[in-house]
Structure 1
Amino acid sequence: MHNLITTPIPTSADLFQVADLCTAFAAELVESKDVTQRLALSGRLSYALTALRLLCDADFPAHLKEQLTVDELPTPCFPDCWIDSWLLVEYAQSLTQALLSCTLPYTVTVHLTGLLHDLIILMADYLKQPYLERETANAQSSKADS
């Protein structure tokens, strides 16, 4: 727990690594009962979500493009109306900010923490889900014939 709170996010971290950090913060947050730890985790999560938002807008490095490219695209893990990484990160950030406000009743805090945890898990899965389709040999040969 101490390392999770104190270790900085590497500047070299890619989208998947920061998504995994967000997942780790959310998992610890949902388990933590200590108010000080919850505040520290929420603050770190907020910072990681800000970094994640920037990485969602950046060009992906080659190793991520390869992991996001498949022969046949899977069914999206989110409904079409939610397929926007920026929006998902904003929802998670808003929930985190609400928890950081320390103005909510305890039961609301517990429920929002659970919702935040579940949203971050789904968001990380969505960000890692392949969305680029590999060109088949037939498509490449028809392009060459053109």
Structure 2
Amino acid sequence: MSAKEIRSLEDHFCFSVYATSHAIQRLYKSVLVKHGLTYPQYLVLVVLYEQKNMSVKQIGQQLNLGTGTTTPLLKRMEKLELVTRKRNPNDERGTLIALTSKGEQERLVLKDLPSLLVDHTDLTDQEWDQLTSLMNKLMTEIVE
């Protein structure tokens, strides 16, 4: 199909991604709500479990969130005792974020959350790998 043709909704790749993203978040929400977490908070747990101390800016960059979104998100997580926020000793203007033991435990409890999605599809392991690879490539190429 040429780029100049008028496309129907089902021919819009961006709509498929949008609708799929919302469906995944609804699926995950059934589990996350039991833990008092939102999807972005879960993603913070994932990122901080991989890299122990990160700046607010680094977390925002990893999750493609602005500081206006990231800072309040992290403050709520601090109130839930999932993360600690402390001044960066190398840069007093910056804040370092780390998981608490409670946050680490939550991450471990939720380690199988992605399998909930896998279990709801008939995709093979190879298809999942291919889909993930292509989506990561697309994301890398279009995210500023």
Structure with higher helix content? 1
Q: Which has the higher contact order (CA 8 A, sep 6+)?
A: 1
TM-score, length of structure 2 as denominator length: 0.23
TM-score, length of structure 1 as denominator length: 0.23
Structure with higher strand content? 2
